Amino acid sequence: MQKKIAVINDIAGYGRCAMTVLLPIISYMGVQACPLPTSIFSNHTAFPHFFMDDYTERMEAYIDNWKKLGLTFDGIATGYLGSVRQIDIVKRFICEFSGENTLVLVDPVMGDHGRLYSAYTAELCTELRKLVALADIITPNLTEACYLLDLPYRETGWKRKELFAMAERLSAMGPSKVVITGIAQGEFIANYVYGKDGDGEPKARLSRIHKADTQRCGTGDVFAAVIAADAVNGVPFEQSVKKAAVFVKQCIEKAAEWKTPSTDGVPFEELLYKLKRG
């Protein structure tokens, strides 16, 4: 049977981020993607203005109909959550819809470059830690890892032993697999990959790739989509992280070649054929 992932995120009509990135990539990788929207945007919030419809009040009725159908999922992937109530709804969803082998990926979308997004508060950070406790895999960037652990942020100069300690503490919250993304190292961008194998022993590795152009909207969603699909397809975690990082770089290079505005994200559609399904 084809695997299924419940994708919990917002929908942006323009700008290639969140649900409009996750659905096509997960689908291309051979997994049925089942959307559960948290809000609907005309375009993402990096544009000067936008329309937004908060879907919180309708999420529970939407979920109740899935319950009546007796649905279960091989994977659950969560992204940006903008309120304590949304986080509570998602925590209940994970508990109610997870089967014995369901893999839960939490992308703790909170901020970047050492700053939280404007809507994020200390209370939301606290509640998000409770959601992280239900995850099997988390994909925080360096900023989000620091906020989850209440550590001071710095852009560069992280030693491997510091990154190991961070990943170990994040794993101790609940997830067995952690990747800390977007670690600047000169001409490279690194991802710190941490996981525990069957005997519970931690394995960690710094995976580096040459930088490509500038950062663009939606690349974290591209990365998380590949990791989520690979997880339910049984691809080893470190292999999946490398695949996701290479694919993101290729997408950024294509955007630079085409002079795509940074707010428009990356033209991943042009490069889907490069993704292997296993």
Residue 131: pLDDT above 90? yes
Contact residues for 219 (Cβ-Cβ < 8 A; gap 6+)? 248, 251, 252, 265, 266
What pLDDT, on a 0 to 100 scale, did the predictor assign at position 120? 87
Categorize the per-residue pLDDT at 172 as very low, low, confident or very high, splitting at 50, 70 and 90.
very high
- Could you tell me which residues are beta bridge partners of residue 220? none
d(Cα 265, Cα 127) in Å, to the nearest integer? 29
d(Cα 32, Cα 43) in Å, to the nearest integer? 25
Domain count, the chain: 1
Categorize the per-residue pLDDT at 118 as very low, low, confident or very high, splitting at 50, 70 and 90.
confident
Categorize the per-residue pLDDT at 154 as very low, low, confident or very high, splitting at 50, 70 and 90.
very high
What pLDDT, on a 0 to 100 scale, did the predictor assign at position 1? 80
Residue 197: pLDDT above 80? no
What pLDDT, on a 0 to 100 scale, did the predictor assign at position 115? 92
Question: Is the CB of residue 153 less than 8 Å from the CB of residue 142?
Answer: yes
Q: Annotate 146-177 with three-state secondary structure.
A: HHHHCCCCCCCCCCHHHHHHHHHHHHHCCCCE
Query: What tokens does 17 get?
Result: 């981020």
- Could you tell me which residues are beta bridge partners of residue 103? 75
Residues 181-207: what's their mean pLDDT?
Answer: 90
Residues 200-222: what's their mean pLDDT?
Answer: 88
Please give the model's pTM, rounded to 2 decimal places.
0.96
d(Cα 29, Cα 278) in Å, to the nearest integer? 8
What pLDDT, on a 0 to 100 scale, did the predictor assign at position 84? 96
Residue 276: pLDDT above 90? no
**Whole-number average pLDDT of the chain:** 95
Beta strands in the chain (DSSP E): 4-12, 32-41, 52-54, 73-78, 98-106, 111-112, 115-116, 137-138, 177-185, 188-196, 202-210
Residue 215: pLDDT above 80? no
What pLDDT, on a 0 to 100 scale, did the predictor assign at position 196? 82
pLDDT digits 0-9 by tens, 216-248: 889 999 999 999 999 999 999 999 999 999 999
Residues 184-201: what's their mean pLDDT?
Answer: 88
Q: Structural domain of residue 73, as residue ranges? A: 4-274
Residues 263-277: what's their mean pLDDT?
Answer: 94
**CATH no. for residue 194?**
3.40.1190.20
What pLDDT, on a 0 to 100 scale, did the predictor assign at position 71? 94
Burial class (CB in 10 A: 0-12, 13-18, 19+), 176: middle
Residues 255-268: what's their mean pLDDT?
Answer: 95
Contact residues for 129 (Cβ-Cβ < 8 A; gap 6+)? 148, 173
pLDDT digits 0-9 by tens, 6-20: 999 999 999 999 999
